[in-house]
């Protein structure tokens, strides 16, 4: 499947589902949308997703981001957005699908994004602490995304990147 088509289908899957049945933003003041010390917050776009931001909504910016794989884009925002325009990483947060090697085989896994621990109180409870429907939607999004080889390679690189973070 084409990478943009995969991203669109995953976004559709995640659009109306949240980590808890209640509004988790009430317990943290929507910490994941707050700006960092530079006055910006940011999410890495999935390969192909940048096509949806050719015309950037007000307050958003794109910058090249090569930490995980060359050619990625980081979308920064000013902490407010039209919910329908938020990137897929925001919809999946604080979880993420990754492709990891186990017993010599690469497979899909849903995990707490290690970068989320600094901001999101839900991370403490792990994947099991989140709404089952949300976890299953993240898993299904991962399955959809893996249908494109470029995105699957990104999810594999993400797993390697998280290993690197763990060993720092």
Q: Which of 2, 1, 93 is nearest to 42 (CA)?
A: 93
How many residues sit in the footprint of ligand SF4 (CB under 6 A)?
Answer: 23
Centroid of chain to Cα 63: 17
Pick between residue 81 and residue 157 the one whose CB is nearest to ligand SF4. 81
Upper half-sphere CA count for residue 146 (Cβ side, 13 Å): 20
Cα 113 from Cα 126, distance rounded (Å)? 10
11 binds ligand SF4 (CB under 6 A): no
Tokens of 98: 């990754």
Three-state DSSP class for 74?
A: strand
28 binds ligand SF4 (CB under 6 A): yes
The nearest distance, CB 122 to ligand SF4, in angstroms, is: 5
120 binds ligand SF4 (CB under 6 A): yes
80 binds ligand SF4 (CB under 6 A): yes
Site residues, ligand SF4 (CB under 6 A): 19, 24-25, 27-28, 30-33, 41, 43, 77, 79-81, 86, 90, 93-94, 119-122
């Amino acid at each position: 499947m084409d990478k943009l088509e995969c991203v669109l289908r995953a976004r559709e899957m995640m659009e109306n589902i949240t980590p808890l049945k209640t509004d988790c933003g009430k317990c943290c003041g929507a910490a994941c949308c707050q700006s960092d010390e530079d006055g910006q917050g940011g999410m890495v776009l999935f390969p192909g997703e940048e096509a949806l931001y050719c015309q950037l909504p007000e307050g958003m910016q794109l910058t090249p981001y090569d930490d995980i794989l060359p050619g990625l884009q980081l979308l920064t925002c000013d902490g407010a957005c039209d919910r329908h325009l938020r990137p897929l990483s925001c919809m999946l947060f604080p979880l993420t699908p990754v492709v990891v090697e186990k017993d010599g085989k690469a497979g899909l896994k849903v995990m707490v994004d290690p970068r989320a621990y600094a901001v999101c109180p839900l991370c403490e409870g792990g994947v099991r602490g989140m709404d089952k429907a949300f976890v299953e939607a993240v898993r299904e999004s991962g399955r959809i995304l893996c249908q494109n080889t470029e995105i699957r390679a990104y999810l594999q690189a993400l797993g390697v990147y998280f290993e690197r973070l763990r060993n720092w």
